Structure 1
Amino acid sequence: MNKLLTTILFIPTLAFSQLVVPSGTTMTVGANTLISTDGNVVVQSANFSFQSVNDANNLGGLLLGGSGQQGIGTANLLAIPNLIIDGGGTKGIIGQVLVTNQLELANGIVSTPENDNVNFLAVGSNGEATSNGTSWVTGPLLQQGSGAKFYPLGAANRYAPILLDVRGNENTLTGARAYRNDGSFVVRNLPSNVDTVSSSWVWAVFAQELNSVQVNLPIQSEDEGLFTSNENLPVVLEADTVQNLSSNLGGFTTTIGSGFNAVGSDNASVNPGGDYVRLFLLGGVLTTVPVIHNILTPNNDGSNDFLVIQAIGAYADDNEVILLDRWGTEVYRKKNFRNFNDIDNPYDGSFDDLSPGNYICILKYAGQTAKQVITVLN
């Protein structure tokens, strides 16, 4: 058996066309050392390690920088402080790879094994995964511990990240995967108040020792039509693995990753015990309760240029809108207000001359009155 001790210390970058660590070889990679390779990494030895230091910025790591097919193959659990994916191409994982500090996806696709409890790519409880939006993991990605966990996922050559707020302990292991629905997944038994549901994108979440999880899903272009009507509010829907919808988790609009528009769940999905496997997707809830949007930016940029009241269409012939400035002076009044659109009710410029500041919007509908403070910004 090879008893050679190879110790590499204090060398900023080591470049290899391919890195092979034979069985029986002890190889310690020192702090501040980044191993770079444009070939495969094959670790047959259980004694390959990165030297650990207290400074999280000096942990060293592995850079897969090849432009073609690359992979990591390891016979034992391989702990890497920092794993950087660059150069483009697809990087495959065979074996057990644990990233303890940072998984950085700069350029390239990481392919992880499907439905495999032996081979995996995981991020440790003190680590994080990052992406610039052009690089992702296709296949399952696991993360350890509780708290906010960002998953830079993708499918069908598309970026589809999610954010999970995991409630558990440091031993909780939560995995996620994105799927582009090819029609094989059909939602059944919709909750009574759900009007629309995505037929395009599904995310699977699976975990051990999980108490509950809140889910944030991206709004992909195929799903934007779910919320085109101002009477539909976005929500996160949960389905079990036999494709029967189990619950509506509610929702609010938010962002994840690098400003990616998303929907976050109001409520947490609760693990009933044992292993946890659930599917999540976006839906729209038909509401008849008017919601007055509280921001106006009348600058003709296509965003918040005019007043929007969700669900006002349910009272199209029985409403009145009044806008008062901070001194109580009426600046706008409209009976049977309708939301503006580009088809049959184009914007008429009613709000273009409003000065920045706070206003009171009074909505009278069906014998009821609602009030909302609206802030006008430049």
Structure 2
Amino acid sequence: MKLRIYIFILCILESAFVLPLQAQMLTNKGQLIHITANTIVSVDGSAVNEGTFTNNGALSVSGDWDNRSDYNPGTGTFILNGNTQQAVRHNNQNFYKLQIAGMGEKILESHVTVTQELQLTNGLVTPDQQSVFLIKEKAVINGGSNQSYINGRLFQEGTGNKFFPIGKNGRYKPVLLDQIEGVSPVAGFELFEPNLQAQPGGDLQEVSQIRYWQQTMLSGILNKAFITLSFDQTENFANIDSLVVAEANGPGGVFRSLGMSKTTGSLVEGTITSKLPISGNFFSIGVARNEVTSNLLFIPNAFSPLAALEEDRVVKIYGKNISQENLLFRIYNRWGNQVYESTSLEELSSKGWNGTNMNTGATESSGVYTYTLQGKFNTGKSFKKVGTISLIK
């Protein structure tokens, strides 16, 4: 049965009904339909709007949605709950609240913008290549799982922290952009599988061949952001401590390390957050080379303030990929008294210690001094080092 809703239905939908109004199909031919708060209209089939549709309640559609005219989202919820594939042609207009339910895939065949909330309960959302699925800056996203995610590209507007509940091939692999800074950025992410052409750069031992994420800027400028990616046992990594976020400028390009600031979970299923802000457009999980950790840290074991070469007159820290975070270098004399301390990577790598007691300003005497050094590499790996330095005069 096809139900055509004309202007006289308006009085029914504007009354305070809380019981669902059901129809097998809804066709609005140039009329005004207004769903008020506490009213639910449930369409067990497809719906076509060729008039004006205002939704301050809830509209649930199990078939295709074809908006050819004006949809006023009001403060209403639009529910796509079909158990078979649903086509959504929304005429480049907004949804206030959009809920994804039912087992069927939702194919977005036109631009869709969500201004308040996206609720992922069940079912996939697949935007076609010509359509933009955009979440406005103040909107929130709830849900996301292997049963309900964005099977394609999702855009988000604004700065701060943005969550992208995307996936591919039945695997939910969301992305989090953290501490976004920029000028009105609108960034999008999509997951791809596999990643067979990826090449590890000099600071990487390998890059995941299973998947990669691509970022696309729709508009604005993204100046800074840190990224969190998901991984699982399909990537067959051996050691979670060696994992880093890897980025490249193009598909199949040479990936470089963004380090690792933290991980969650385990190699079976977990997440990893970059140590450095992103600068490329393609991202994957990488394994750091061993040299990126302990082998790239060196402290001389002797120096002399009277040496002919300036470099030999001080004690510096030499190395690559050393982070400023949690860095602490201390030197003690033979009686255990601290004579030097620094937490500055710039000072330790450029000036160093020249043998002067930080407390008295006097030059220390010849002898053997003990040092302690702790900190992190840019990969996120912590280090601690204890040794001795001979001051020679």
Q: TM-score scaled by structure 1?
A: 0.64
The answer to whether the aligner puts 1:191 opposite 2:207 as a matched pair is no
Deviations 1:100-147 (A, max 9, x none): 111111111111113x3xx12111101122324231111101111111
How much has 1:220 moved relative to structure 2? 2.2
The superposition leaves residues 242-272 of structure 1 with CA deviations (integer Å, 9 ceiling, x where unpaired) of 532253211133349xx962010011123xx
Aligned in 2, Cα 1:241/1:221: closer, same or farther, shift over 3 Å?
same
Q: Are 1:238 and 2:250 an aligned pair? A: no
The letter for the 2-side match of 1:180 is E
Change (3 A) 1:82 1:368: closer
Q: Please state whether the residue corresponding to 1:84 is helix, strand or coil.
A: strand
1:60 to 63, 76, 87: 76
Residues 1:39 and 2:63 aligned together: yes
**2:120 pairs with 1:105:** yes
CA contact (8 A) 1:254 1:261 kept: yes
- Match of residue 124, structure 1, among 136, 156, 166: 136
1:263-310 Cα deviation digits (max 9, x unpaired): 10011123xxxxxx71100001133546xxxxxxxxxxxxxxxxxxxx
Point out where structure 1 has 5 or more consecutive residues left out of the alignment: 52-58, 271-276, 291-361, 371-378
Question: 1:191 Cα deviation (Å)?
Answer: 2.8
Partner of 1:342: none
Gap change, CA 1:2 and 1:197, over 3 Å in 2: closer
Q: 1:171-222 deviations in whole A, cap 9, x for unaligned?
A: 3111000111063xx123x332211210101001111322233211101222
Given that residues 115 and 136 in structure 2 are in contact (C-alpha distance below 8 angstroms), is that contact kept between their aligned partners in structure 1? Answer: yes
What corresponds to 1:28 in structure 2?
Answer: 54
Shift of residue 68, structure 1, vs aligned partner: 0.9
Code of the residue aligned with 2:208 in structure 1: it is S
The corresponding residue for 2:231 is 219
Counterparts in 2 of 1:220 and 1:144: CA distance versus 1, 3 Å: same
Residue in 1 that maps onto 2:87: 71
2:288 aligned residue (276, 285, 300): 285
**Structure 1 residue 143 and structure 2 residue 156: aligned?**
yes
Paired amino acid for 1:237? A
Partner of 1:161: 174
Matched, 1:10 2:25: no
Q: Distance in 2 between matches of 1:263 and 1:88?
A: 31
For residues 79 and 61 of structure 2, the distance between their equivalents in structure 1, rounded to whole angstroms, comes to 6
Give the alignment's Cα RMSD to 1 decimal.
2.8
Go from structure 1 to structure 2 and tell me whether the alpha carbon gap of 1:10 and 1:41 turns closer, same or farther (over 3 Å shift): same
How far does residue 89 in structure 1 lie from its aligned partner after superposition? 1.7
| 2:194 is the counterpart of 1:181 | yes
Code of the aligned partner of 1:38: S
Change (3 A) 1:182 1:368: closer
Mapped to 1, the partners of 2:257 and 2:101 lie a distance apart of 39
What's the secondary structure of 1:88's corresponding residue? coil
Counterparts in 2 of 1:19 and 1:168: CA distance versus 1, 3 Å = farther
2:276 to 249, 267, 273: 267
SS at match of 1:222: helix
Q: Cα distance, 1:19 vs. partner?
A: 5.0
What SS class does the counterpart of residue 176 from structure 2 fall into?
Answer: strand
Whether the aligned pair in 2 keeps the contact of 1:69 and 1:90 (CA below 8 Å) is: yes
Q: Would you say how many aligned residue pairs link Structure 1 and Structure 2?
A: 267
Deviation, structure 1 residue 96: 1.0
2:234 partner SS: helix
* Residue pair 1:70, 1:90 contacting (<8 A) in 2 also: yes
> In structure 2, what is the equivalent of residue 325 of structure 1?
none
- Displacement of 1:94 in angstroms is 0.9
After superposition, the Cα gap between the structure-2 partners of 1:246 and 1:198, relative to the gap in structure 1 and judged at 3 Å, is closer
| Distance (Å, rounded) in 1 between the aligned partners of 2:215 and 2:179 | 11
Decide whether aligned partners of structure 1 residues 2 and 36 sit closer, same or farther in structure 2, where only a CA change above 3 A counts: closer
Report matched runs for 1:82-97 at 5 Å.
82-97=97-112
Aligned-residue identity in percent: 23
1:369 aligns with 2:386: yes
1:329 match: none
Instruction: Give me the whole-angstrom Cα distance separating, in 2, the residues matched to 1:40 and 1:170.
Output: 37
For 2:150, what is the secondary structure of its paired residue?
Answer: strand
Map of 1:81 onto structure 2: 96
Find the aligned partners of 2:101 and 2:385 in 1 and give their Cα distance: 59
Residue 344 of structure 2 corresponds to none
Contact 2:119 2:142 in 1 (8 A): yes
